[in-house]
Chains A and B, each alone.
Chain A
Amino acid sequence: MPGFWINMGPQHPMTHGLWNMKVKIDGETIIDARPELGYLHRGYEKIMEVREFQKNVVLTDRLCYVSSLTWSHAYCLATEKMMGVEVPERGQWIRVVALELQRVASHLMWLAAFAPDLGLLTGLLWSLRERELFLDLIQILSGARMNQNFPRIGGVRNDLPDNFAAMCRRSIAHFLEKLDEYEVLYHESKVFHMRTQGVGRLGAQDAINWGVTGPNLRASGVNVDLRRLDPYDKYDEVDFEPQVWKGPDPGDSYARFICRYNEMRVSCDIILQALDKMPASGPYRSKPPRRAEGEGYARTEDSRGEALFYVLGDGDDRPYRVKIRSPIFCSMAATPLMLRGNKLADVVSILGSIDVCVGEMDK
């Protein structure tokens, strides 16, 4: 039959969020694809212009609700650069710990969404079970499991609780054992390899040109990790290895899966290092001015890629303009390249491996 357009979404178990992907199929092969965004557009940039600087952190938490600490932290960084506020050292280390905890929780949520897409429903339950460990740690640290409202302009909201380092170490030790168990389910499964290898290829030049960042870019072989290339907070004092795909077949779903999977281990390593290197006590927060004028931007390595905030102030106690750059917004532009030529059944494999979070995509 000639190609006809099929709607995957907006109501679809696969899409993990509210967006639509129109694919044009000919039998089982995809000829063309067109993502449709904007179902979850909440007008963030406009709202943030009428809220005070600190109160916007509540909003930025909900941009990507799965990984809320990273987004609020990016906003706070941008505002600090605009105001010229210096974060004390212990505050920076606490931020590193919180961010990496959130990154592991976000990646586990990705895994819990990716596995059932491929038919492996056991992966959902196991990943969510491990995510509970990290959500508990985040709750002990900040008081909430999601949308924590934890970063402040000038630092963080509160210091680490007593005995937090020991709790972290115990949870991480347990988690790393479980990660080895997961390898049986994913790395040693021939069916998993059949489903993810060779599908959704994105070349390195294409990825850079279309603005793809984060694990998706590293899976294509480009060694760019913003924690290393453009360090913020105390990432330049932490020793870690960005997970770049060095194998023979870059840019397919399996490469993206492996890069994100290994990042969980790297994040655990960073947490343990940060807990060791952090100063034993000290201020964790400095007071920002109430009103500010100027411009500042900050880019961070969010769980999904590069998150950039551009904040402008005109002397008022609210921002004049906030621009949010979402990594998934840019990856979504590159999805037609990844989808063309693959089979209809690969749509889930490819889109699952990109790790879509609609909240940040639609702002």
Chain B
Amino acid sequence: MSAPLIPDLFAACKVLTGAIIWVVNQIVLAIAIVIPPFRGLAEWLGSDPVVTALTWLVVMTVMLLWATLVNLLTVMWLERKLYSRLQDRYGIMVSIWSLPFWPFNRKDRPTHMGLGYLQNVADGVKLLLKENLTPRDADSAMFHMAPVLIAASTLMIFVALPWSSGFYVVRLDLNLLFILAAFSLAPFGILMAGWSANNKYTLVGGMRAAAQLMAYEIPMILCVIALVFTTGSLDVFEIVAQQERPLVDLGLFAIPAWNLFGPQILGFVVFTVAMMAEMERIPFDVPEAEAELVEGWTTEYSGMRFGLVFGFKWLRMVAGSALIAILYLGGWTGPVFATFQVGGIAVPIVPEELWFILRVWLLSMVFVVVSWSVPRVRIDQILQIGWKRLVPFSLLAILVAAGAALVGWGP
């Protein structure tokens, strides 16, 4: 059976917030010795509504940091290293000794023989330091709003996307619907960005993006419908819990009933292809086609605005991989090989979070290998694939799933 490392994120953060508020309260109470009215402030800070509100803030920050600082940076690093090795070169190799402050600014260590993990941080800092240009005739409000929309809608996914059975911000009943809806907000931002920059290249790029993303959301949603035949609910927790039951018992271990093994295999293939197009990865990255349209719809962005739209492409890859892992690959379920006791709390050795991260990162790397091995597909060919091939296949998947449900497949 699987067990999470953090059984309840809200409770854990509440403890953390309580601790912080206690520390602050001590200072306030110390001041209150001199100025009596501050005692009311201490009471108010310690009261339940305030603690709850601050806990929510802390939970959201933890999830944001987890998604961006840990996952985004690591997936970006993995991608850059992996495709560099595909191309017969080392890849990013900046080492921790290249940092310019003590204790890392030693002269006797090489600055570029390391892991390269800090390269993405350095790129982010570089983008922050660049000048933010706005084209003169651009529609200023839309131009500035578009990256915010893309970033915000992508981060909204992580509100509802759980990383284990306890590590989530909010538990909604219709989790999946919310995640898919948040995924689909980004095309608005892309179209806004492409149109508002007053540039022929970005306009063409934005239009292409809108056409492509619209074409590929249909098969995605149809595959989810096919999935609902098996699972019977749109709750992510329910879907993952159902995939924990054993499908075939081989004595030594059991093959779990992932949705991948079964009639949903067609849905899995279609969903993955549609997800690759949604994430705008090569072979489907025509909106941002570097060779033809300079940078496509992101041409006019500079500085951190560019960093936002560029970096959030990776975050959407993480979210997309997470979605595929949840729906078809069993989510965060996996055997806990052992637990050990830490002061009365049972800590699993291989917790659910680890299984989930493993699946997400491995899926991302599969996408990376595919991306860097094939050329780009032309936009009209992309639309042909989307409408003429994926939609019929997803309808077929619905048919197969319905047939299987009729026969009695499923929990």
Contacts and interface: CB of A to CB of B under 8 A. Distances in A.
A binds B: yes
A157 interface: no
A131 to B, nearest CB: 13
Nearest to A342: B378
A117 B282 CA distance: 12
A189 B290 CA distance: 20
B289 A119 contact: yes
B292 A344 contact: yes
Interface hub of B88, B291, B373, B379 (most chain A Cβ within 10 A): B291
A290 B180 CA distance: 80
A115 B87 CA distance: 13
A28 B381 CA distance: 12
A6 B264 CA distance: 46
Interface string B244-284: 00000000000000000000000000000000000000110
B286 interface: yes
Nearest to B89: A125
A194 B283 CA distance: 12
A343 B291 contact: no
B88 A345 contact: no
- Classify chain A's interface size: 20 to 34
B123 interface: no
Interface string A210-248: 000000000000000000000000000000000000000
B282 A345 contact: no
B292 A28 contact: no
Contact of A125 (B87, B201, B294): B87
A294 to B, nearest CB: 48
B39 interface: no
Nearest to A199: B378
A100 interface: no
B373 A345 contact: no
A194 B373 CA distance: 15
Contact of B294 (A13, A28, A121, A126): A13
Interface string B289-301: 1111010000000
A201 to B, nearest CB: 16
SS class of chain B's interface: helix, strand, loop or mixed?
loop
A110 to B, nearest CB: 15
A195 interface: yes
A343 B374 contact: no
A195 B291 contact: no
B291 A348 contact: yes
Given A6-B200, A191-B377, A195-B378, A122 B294 contact: no
Contacts of B204: 6, 28, 344
B373 A347 contact: no
A195 B379 contact: no
B7 interface: no
A346 interface: yes
Interface string B358-389: 00000000000000111111111100000000
A17 interface: no
A347 B292 contact: yes
Interface in A191-207: 191-192, 194-195
B353 interface: no
B20 interface: no
A188 B381 CA distance: 18
B30 interface: no
A14 B379 CA distance: 17
A118 B291 contact: yes
A119 B373 CA distance: 9
A119 B375 contact: yes
Contact of B283 (A119, A125, A185, A348): A119
Contacts, number: 80
Contacts of B86: 122
A54 to B, nearest CB: 41
Interface string B71-93: 00000000000010011110000
A191 B379 contact: no
A174 interface: no
A120 interface: yes
A28 B291 contact: no
A125 B88 CA distance: 8
A330 to B, nearest CB: 25
Interface in A83-132: 115-122, 124-126, 129
Contacts of A118: 291, 375-376
A122 B292 CA distance: 18
Interface string A2-21: 00101010001110000000
Residue among B86, B282, B289 facing the most chain A CB atoms (10 A cut-off)? B289
Contacts of A347: 292
A338 to B, nearest CB: 16
Contact of B291 (A14, A125, A192): A14
B217 interface: no
Contacts of B373: 120, 122, 185, 189
Contacts of A189: 373-375
Contacts of B352: none
Given A126-B88, A191-B375, A192-B375, A119 B200 contact: no
A129 B89 CA distance: 10
A342 to B, nearest CB: 10
Contact of B88 (A4, A120, A129): A129
A40 B367 CA distance: 41
A195 B285 CA distance: 14
B380 A120 contact: no
B292 A345 contact: yes
Given A121-B87, A122-B373, A195-B375, 17 more contacts: A6-B200, A13-B291, A116-B291, A119-B282, A119-B283, A119-B289, A119-B290, A119-B375, A119-B376, A129-B88, A189-B373, A191-B374, A191-B377, A192-B374, A194-B377, A194-B378, A195-B376
Interface of B: 83, 86-89, 200-201, 204, 282-283, 285-286, 289-292, 294, 372-381
21 contacts: A13-B290, A13-B294, A28-B380, A115-B375, A116-B290, A118-B291, A119-B290, A119-B376, A120-B373, A122-B87, A185-B373, A189-B373, A191-B283, A192-B375, A195-B376, A343-B378, A343-B379, A344-B204, A345-B286, A345-B292, A347-B292
In the A-B complex, list the 8 residue pairs whose CB atoms are closest, starting with the nearest: A119-B376, A125-B87, A118-B375, A117-B291, A120-B375, A119-B375, A345-B378, A14-B291
